[in-house]
Amino acid sequence: MRKIWKAKLLDKVIKSYLFLSRKRVETSLNAEALSPKHILIFSTTALGDFLFNTPAIRAVRKRFPDAQITLVAHEKYADFLKEGNDWNKLVFWNNKAITISRVLRSLKGEPPIDIALLLHSHEPYDYLCAILAGSRLILKDNYRDDIALRDKWLADYTIAFKGHVIERKLKLVEGLGCDVSDITMKLPFSVGNKTANIHPVIGFQLGASTPERCWAPENFSQLAVLLLKQFQYLTLVLIGGPGDKGRAETFLRLLPANLHARIVNEVGDTSLPQLCRIINNMDLLVTGDTGPLHIAVTLNTPTLGLFVTANPYATGAFQNPDLHHLIYISRKKSHADLAHVMDVIKPERVAETAEFILNKIRAETLPEAKVHE
């Protein structure tokens, strides 16, 4: 309801702006007639959302190789995005109305914006920002359908799409005449070659974007005991953001002291580029549905995804399915008594699956190695 109220207010603002500026917004799309000089792409939400958007961004770059592309992203990903070659310029925005003026100043003096592509951003301020920036044509991936006050300003948008998030982004840019056959995600920088580990390395991503997607440190600790017992020379690498330091402390407190020497704790101590390089050299990453999962998928690092509150068929691994495994237990009424719904996934099951994956990987990559030694 709150967004509808905002949409009504912003509708009046947009009408006034267009009347006073004598500009117009096109509300139909003719892909064959497109020859944009400047394309504005919005991807201002989470890291995983951005990685899901990279196939579509690459497709736009290939479709319009001579156009200037400006990527509008969240400023917390500045170091991560600065080397990307699918855009010419970065502008940062925190999705708040009060900072739109700063975005507009950053775009001032650029070639007129022909197309704004809203791949994942907060409405209603995203299309308002695009219009005030002067975009003549706006395409948006709508996550809520049938909002007339918004949709009337869009030349094309998504309606009731069912499938993976990568697919829905590609379907949107297909309307621009883009080749959407490449579904692989892309990092905006090189991480170098993978290391062939003599002894296995498994990563544990301890946190997630929301508490209900987190597997408890107690579960990770029990999993660690099972795996370290099974694989004599296994190293476990803990990863996560600064907010996950408490989870790492709990994990280590619960883990027997004689096993601590086989743990590498990187939680909260890495930049995003550093984290990517660490994940690149893992044999396997065990994680919930969160950004590092999607980094691992992008890097072709095998994963074991733990899903209960998220839908893996929309946000799990989409490329290279042979490398990525998941344990998915759908929520039920009988789970209501659990303190944390992710506890429905038991460490013993995760250990059994991880053992199977790791043995298979090590047999293929190091056929002469004794995997369990």
Last residue of a domain, one of 174, 191, 218: 174
What would the pLDDT profile of 120-136 be if each residue is shown by its tens digit?
998 889 999 999 999 99
Q: Is residue 327 part of a domain?
A: yes
Same domain, 340 and 259: yes
Which residue stretches of the chain have pLDDT < 50? 1, 370-373
Q: Is residue 182 part of a domain?
A: no
Same domain, 236 and 311: yes
Same domain, 313 and 359: yes
Same domain, 67 and 119: yes
- Determine the residue type at 224: A
Alpha carbon distance 253, 235 (integer Å): 18
Residues in the chain: 373
Residue 106 CB contacts under 8 Å (≥ 6 apart), including other chains:
91
Same domain, 253 and 129: no
Same domain, 135 and 255: no
Compute the Cα dihedral for 297, 299, 304, 305 and give only its sign.
negative
Q: CATH code at 270?
A: 3.40.50.2000
Same domain, 218 and 142: no
Element (H, E) at 130: helix 125-132
What would the pLDDT profile of 336-359 be if each residue is shown by its tens digit?
777 789 999 999 999 999 999 999
**Residue 33 CA: distances (Å) to CA of 28, 36, 170, 177, 352:** 12, 9, 20, 10, 56
CB 267 within 8 A of CB 240: yes
- Determine the residue type at 110: E
β-pairing verdict for 263-265 and 137-140:
unpaired
Using only C-alpha atoms, what is the Rg of the chain?
Answer: 23
Compute the Cα dihedral for 345, 267, 91, 53 and give only its sign.
negative
Q: Is 238 helix (H, G, I), strand (E, B) or coil?
A: strand
Domain count, the chain: 2
DSSP conformational letter for 229: H
Same domain, 256 and 357: yes
Q: Which strand ranges, in their side-by-side order, compose the sheet holding 303-307?
A: 263-265, 235-239, 201-205, 284-288, 303-307, 324-328
Residue-level pLDDT at 367: 56
Structure-block tokens of residue 268: 């909260």
Same domain, 259 and 165: no
Q: Provide the β-strand partners of residue 139.
A: 117, 156
Domain of 340?
Answer: 201-365
Same domain, 167 and 265: no
Residue-level pLDDT at 372: 47
Question: DSSP states of 174-225 as a string?
Answer: HTTT----------SS---PPP--SS-EEEEE---SSGGGPPPHHHHHHHHH
